[in-house]
């Protein structure tokens, strides 16, 4: 399975709305291969999510997965384990609760981190890689990833969601100066 090139900020693919996928196509070999290649690409880049426009496909598809990561300064994992998922034609509906700020990065905006407000839980509807409709409520870090990836399908980047660009930082400086300032535990993964 090849690792696909990830387009970066400035590439028009990131600012073009993604098209819905014809449901019958999901189980076709070419589409299954695209899903596998996106998973491979996300893992190779050590990201926790990847949307199809980031690899130049204008389709409503994203994949995500997080491996548990320990934070040596805290007893709890900084990143909880989130099982691998592929979501086609997603709909994301925010559920009640005030928006929470936390650090985000993006594989298409390398080396930058910023504080982004997100809904703490959302209802996610979509089609899985077997072509089955699924509906789930996702919370916390998973809800953040889902909102980030869903935004990619609508040409929205995390920079557009930041309410104050003053928190924007390069990863090295973020590690040195801002890492411990995060209320909710440090997370440095890109999506």
Enzyme catalytic residues: 149
Nearer to Ni ion, 52 or 106 (CB): 106
Indicate the residue whose CB is closest to Ni ion: 106
37 scored as a contact of Ni ion (CB under 5 A): no
Nearer to Ni ion, 7 or 69 (CB): 7
Q: Which of residues 88-127 bind Ni ion (CB under 5 A)?
A: 106
Nearest by Cα to 173 from 116, 117, 113 = 113
Rounded least distance, CB 168 to Ni ion, Å: 15
191 scored as a contact of Ni ion (CB under 5 A): yes
CA distances from 77 to 17, 96, 143, 164 (A): 35, 25, 17, 27
Rounded least distance, CB 148 to Ni ion, Å: 6
Dihedral angle computed from the Cα positions of residues 99, 104, 106 and 112, in that order, rounded to the nearest 10 degrees? 130
Rounded least distance, CB 107 to Ni ion, Å: 6
Rounded least distance, CB 25 to Ni ion, Å: 24
CA distances from 185 to 32, 115, 138, 139 (A): 35, 12, 19, 16
Q: How many CA atoms lie within 13 A of 138 on its CB side?
A: 22
Nearer to Ni ion, 37 or 149 (CB): 149
CA distances from 60 to 35, 103, 111, 178, 188 (A): 12, 25, 26, 34, 25
Nearer to Ni ion, 142 or 191 (CB): 191
Interface residues with Ni ion (CB under 5 A) are 106, 191
């Amino acid at each position: 399975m090849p690792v696909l090139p990830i387009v970066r900020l400035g590439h028009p693919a990131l600012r073009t709305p993604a098209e819905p996928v014809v449901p019958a196509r999901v189980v076709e070999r070419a589409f299954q291969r695209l899903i596998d290649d996106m998973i491979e690409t996300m893992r190779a880049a050590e990201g926790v999510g990847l949307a199809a426009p980031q690899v130049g496909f204008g389709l409503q598809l994203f994949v995500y997965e997080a491996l548990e990561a320990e934070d040596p300064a805290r007893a709890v994992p900084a990143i909880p384990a989130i099982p691998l998922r592929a979501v086609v034609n997603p709909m994301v509906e925010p559920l009640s609760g005030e928006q929470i700020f936390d650090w985000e990065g993006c594989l298409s905006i390398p080396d930058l981190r910023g504080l982004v407000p997100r809904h703490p839980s959302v209802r996610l509807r979509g089609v899985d890689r077997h072509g089955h409709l699924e509906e789930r409520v996702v919370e916390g870090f998973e809800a953040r990833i889902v909102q980030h990836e869903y935004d990619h399908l609508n040409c929205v980047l995390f920079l557009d969601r930041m309410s104050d660009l003053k928190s924007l930082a390069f990863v090295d400086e973020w590690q040195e100066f801002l890492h411990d300032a995060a209320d909710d535990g440090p997370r440095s993964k890109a999506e």
